[in-house]
Amino acid sequence: MAQLSYSSGTSDVPLLGDTIAGDFDRAVAAHGEREALVECATGRRWTYRELAAEVDAVAAGLWASGVRVGDRVGIWSPNRAEWVVVQYATARIGAILVNINPAYRVHELEYVLRQAGVRTLIAASSFKTSDYAGMIAEVRPRCAALRQVVLLDGPEWTELHSADLPEWPELSADDPVNIQYTSGTTGFPKGATLSHHNILNNGFFVGELCGYTHEDRICLPVPFYHCFGMVMGNLAATSHGACVVIPAPAFDPAATLKAVADERCTSLYGVPTMFIAELADPGFDSYDLSSLRTGIMAGSPCPVEVMKQVVERMGMSEVSICYGMTETSPVSTQTRRDDSLDRRVSTVGRVGPHLEVKVVDPEHGRTVPRGTPGELCTRGYSVMLGYWEQPDRTAEVVDAARWMHTGDLAVMDDAGYVTITGRIKDMVIRGGENLYPREIEEFLFTHPDVLDAQVVGVPDAKYGEELMAWLRMRPGTTPLTAEAVREFCAGRLAHHKVPRYVHVVDEFPMTVTGKVRKVEMRRQAVEILGLADEARTDSGAADRA
């Protein structure tokens, strides 16, 4: 009988049963004089003891202002030290931190404030072209629950600090501590509600698999408002007594490379597009990256060639691939430090400690044999409490047995390693053939002139859908035409997998976290190719998220 696509993560290390504040207190007691946080843009530094004092002062200030256990406190800011302080201060008093995407504008801000019932909003005054203070002033009259606004660059932030520490409330590790809004591609985003137990353990075990100790220094160019920054970064660091290094308020390849070199970082995080930008930076060879040992690449599939360069040119021999989603705190599978390069470039690793994963037939839900594609599901301590005040939406993705249905297509091999082949909604059906964009993207990436490739489905009157490749070219090369791509694919890729359309761009439409927005690419493709009529008769390709 064939082995089923199911795997559970065994571990000799038990789950942490404490709250985030309890775990942080232990780190302060053990590593009080070690550096905990560095902000490169301002040169500010905190030891664990100094950071704890700042966290307690802000927690006391929030408590004095009337914030209580379960109240929602919003944070709307690019990466900065105060973001970290607010994360741990709200956890200290049992408030629920609501992460607000720095790219949001008035409409989205108002929705989140109202949907989560945010009581206190802590925000940057502005950043680049974003006038946060102005947008807050516009929506505040329409947000009944919002009683307090604290601008990080104004006197309100200083006034929030209090030296009069209250008796901290008793909390449970199962209490909600964080709401993160997942990217909404149709309708409004949903607020994944996460507990102390969810995110503290996920950060801890991600750090365990990276081999973190108090000697590590983790460079975080990824946004704090997302799990990548605040869980896999901040919580992985503090649960091991390591140091968080903030290279810049928003991703900047040169600033990131400089931070790694100046601060002797041992670990670097990023989505593939960030590593591509760093490797392509004109001054790359001038930075001493010899301190790097490990890091995490996640968020979207990593092209094989990029991973090879990260290992060879950046020295990240133990770099880890992580896979997950906000609703699972986020990591479900991860490659190990001793995995071969082939494992790290072709899979997203094995199930994490104390978790379960399985691959099921999307139609009937039964677990499929290993080697058979299907939908990846995960279960365990990491699965969210639910979408904030949306039990119906929760029930759509978390089944009665507490399995989280990811919507991702995957294959599990005989050793339990998982390969993500695409999103169920990204799969292109051309003339009845199921086509998986990632396979085609990996092939196009082998073209010497291609810097990056993304493939989407576009509506077609004859086949239902056709393939369109969006390409970014290497500097100084000639843009590829559809004919040139067909010639490159000839005899090497099945004819039905060869993109019919080719579109060369300088940049892909991106989310603030660096993920490619394929839904936006499909919408633009309909206009670029003049396929409005086809889109009306076959809306699937244009509307899928």
Cα separation, 367 vs 4, in Å, equals: 6
Between helix 48-64 and helix 20-31 the angle, nearest 10°, is: 150
Cα separation, 466 vs 435, in Å, equals: 10
Cα separation, 381 vs 16, in Å, equals: 10
Nearest residue to 183 (alpha-carbon basis) of 305, 286, 99: 99
- Torsion from C-alpha of 304, 308, 313, 317, nearest 10 degrees: 130
Nearest residue to 182 (alpha-carbon basis) of 225, 222, 230: 225
Cα separation, 97 vs 281, in Å, equals: 35
The DSSP call for residue 233 is I
pLDDT score recorded for residue 512 = 65
pLDDT score recorded for residue 183 = 64
Cα separation, 137 vs 135, in Å, equals: 5
Length of the chain: 545
Contact indicator for 331, 307 with CB cutoff of 8 Å: no
Tokens of 291: 């301190």
The number of beta carbons lying within 10 Å of the beta carbon of residue 251 is: 22
Nearest residue to 150 (alpha-carbon basis) of 124, 130, 128, 126: 124
Residue written as token pair 């810097």: 451
Tokens of 23: 């775990």
Per-residue pLDDT of the chain in tens (545 residues, 90 and over written 9)? 789 999 999 999 999 999 999 999 999 999 999 999 999 999 999 999 999 999 999 999 999 999 999 999 999 999 999 999 999 999 999 999 999 999 888 988 999 999 999 999 999 999 998 999 999 999 999 999 999 999 999 999 999 999 999 999 999 999 999 999 986 434 578 999 999 999 999 999 999 999 999 999 999 999 999 999 999 999 999 999 999 999 999 999 999 999 999 999 999 999 888 999 999 999 999 999 999 999 999 877 777 788 889 999 999 999 999 999 999 999 999 999 999 988 988 899 999 999 999 999 988 899 999 999 999 999 999 999 999 999 999 999 999 999 999 999 999 999 999 998 877 878 787 877 778 788 899 889 999 999 999 999 999 888 889 999 999 999 999 999 999 999 999 888 878 899 999 999 999 998 766 778 888 999 999 999 999 887 764 433 222 22
What DSSP line would sit under 267-317, residue for residue? EEEE-HHHHHHHHT-TTGGGS--TT--EEEE-SSPPPHHHHHHHHHHH--T
Domains observed in the chain: 48-171 (3.40.50.980), 428-543 (3.30.300.30)
Taking CA atoms, 165 is separated from 27, 108, 139, 203, in Å, by 20, 35, 33, 28
Cα separation, 328 vs 295, in Å, equals: 20
Nearest residue to 322 (alpha-carbon basis) of 437, 239, 203: 203
In terms of Cβ atoms closer than 10 Å to its own Cβ (0-12, 13-18, 19+), residue 473 is middle
Tokens of 544: 């899928």
Which amino acid is residue 155, in one-letter code?
Answer: P
